Amino acid sequence: MSFVTTTPKKVNWGGRLLIAIPYTWLLVLFLAPFALVAVISLSTVRLGMPPFEPLTAWDGSILSLRLNFENFLYVLTDDTYLLAYLTSLKVAAISTAIMLLIAYPLAYGIASCSPSSRSLLVFLVIVPFWSSMLIRVYSWMSILRNDGLLNALLLKLGLIAEPLRILNTETAIYIGIVYTYLPFMVLPIYSSLASADRTLIEAARDLGCSRVSAFWRVTFPLSLPGVAAGCALVFIPVVGEFVIPDLLGGADTQMIGRAIWLEFFNNRDWPMAAAVTIVLLALLVVPIVYFQSRQSRSRT
């Protein structure tokens, strides 16, 4: 069997088999399911398993196709859903901006260190990313509660007279999101800063550029690909985030990921949940395609 060809033009049968295995897996379990979501979003809810009507019916001689657009009409006109989409986009945009403000100096600081301390610091940034997100969100619950550690500390210091209500507010959502997604922002910025050509910065300095203007004119533009990748890696999943708004947020901040979850498990309306999902995907398709084209360009 030979699957690695020296000439890149023709792929032999061994190569085809090699392609076919992961390709088929992704087609069946990643791409086809999306088509299915689209189909089921046009269905009608019913009792039983599966809890939706088939789209086609065959009564012996007539094949009928019933497409129910009611779910979409509802999602696109109902205030609660519109508000949930807008809130999700707003929360994702603001938290991405906050993360950028924290992550950039951190990544810049790491890139300014010696190579040996760099790898240790990168390792330290990666560890929280590998450890359980649920657990890290939970850790904030005990800190932010009314009788939690933050309030206890502030009360002891005499900075506040009464405990602040932070848990179950939008502030808590921001804290949780910034905290859990920060490594995703730091790492791409760091890698673009670390691979930036140092001689360009030195040249700018030699030519009389001040430290600050050398940063804004040379370093920062060179790090923009990392910034863009970091923003995409953070913004897109945050829009559909479920765990953080569910555990840290309150009833007044409804995000769309949580709306899908509730539609599924509480209302058991699968076609409606599918329609909400399709609209969410439609909102995210532009950033996702942008992210992919960037990633594949940077890799080739």
Partner 1 sequence: MTKPSWFNRLSILFGLAFLYLPIVVLVVYSFNGSKLVTVWGGFSTQWYATVLNNPSIVEGAKVSFLVAAVSATAATILGTLAAVVMVRLRRFRGRALFNGMLLAPMVMPEVVMAVSMLLMFVTLGIDRGPLTITLAHTTFTLCFATVVLQSRLVELDSSLEEAARDLGCPPARAFVSVALPNMIPAIVSAWLLSFTLSLDDLVISSFTTGPGASTLPMKIYSQIKFGVTPEINAISTIILGVVVLGLVGAQLVSRRSEKAERTA
CA–CA gap between residue 8 and residue 120 (Å, rounded): 39
Torsion-angle region of residue 72: left (phi > 0), alpha (psi -120 to 50) or beta?
Answer: alpha
In the numeric block, the tokens 């309150």 are attached to 250
Q: Residues 127, 107, 246, CA angle at the centre, nearest 5°?
A: 55
Nearer to partner 1, 36 or 76 (CB): 36
Torsion sign (Cα): 220, 221, 222, 226? positive
Q: Would you say 140 and 174 are in contact if contact means Cβ atoms under 8 Å apart?
A: no
Give the three-class secondary structure for 254.
coil
Q: Residue 289 Cβ, how far from partner 1 at the closest point, in Å?
A: 8
Min. distance of Cβ 280 from partner 1 in angstroms?
6
Name the residue nearer to partner 1 (CB basis): 66 or 211: 211
C-beta closer to partner 1: residue 108 or 220? 108
Nearest approach, Cβ of 22 to partner 1 (angstroms)?
Answer: 4
Shortest distance in whole angstroms from residue 183 CB to partner 1? 8
Q: Least distance to partner 1 from the beta carbon of 61, Å?
A: 26
Which residue's CB is nearer to partner 1, number 9 or number 65?
9
- C-beta of 107: minimal distance to partner 1 in Å? 9
User: How many Å apart are CA 125 and CA 123, to the nearest integer?
Assistant: 5
Closest distance to partner 1 from the beta carbon of 12 (Å): 10
Helix (H, G, I), strand (E, B) or coil at 58: strand
Q: Is the dihedral angle over the CA atoms 225, 228, 232, 233 positive or is it negative?
A: positive
Contact 44, 68 (CB under 8 A): yes
60 or 201: CB nearest partner 1 = 201
Nearer to partner 1, 62 or 65 (CB): 65
Q: Specify the residue, 5 or 267, whose C-beta has the smaller distance to partner 1.
A: 5
Alpha carbon distance 168, 127 (integer Å): 27
Between CA 275 and CA 42 the distance in angstroms is: 8
Let me know: does 282 contact 242? Beta carbons within 8 Å: no
Which residues have CB under 8 Å from 167's CB, separation 6+? 141, 144, 145, 146, 148, 248
CB of 81 to partner 1, least distance (A): 14
Nearer to partner 1, 61 or 132 (CB): 132
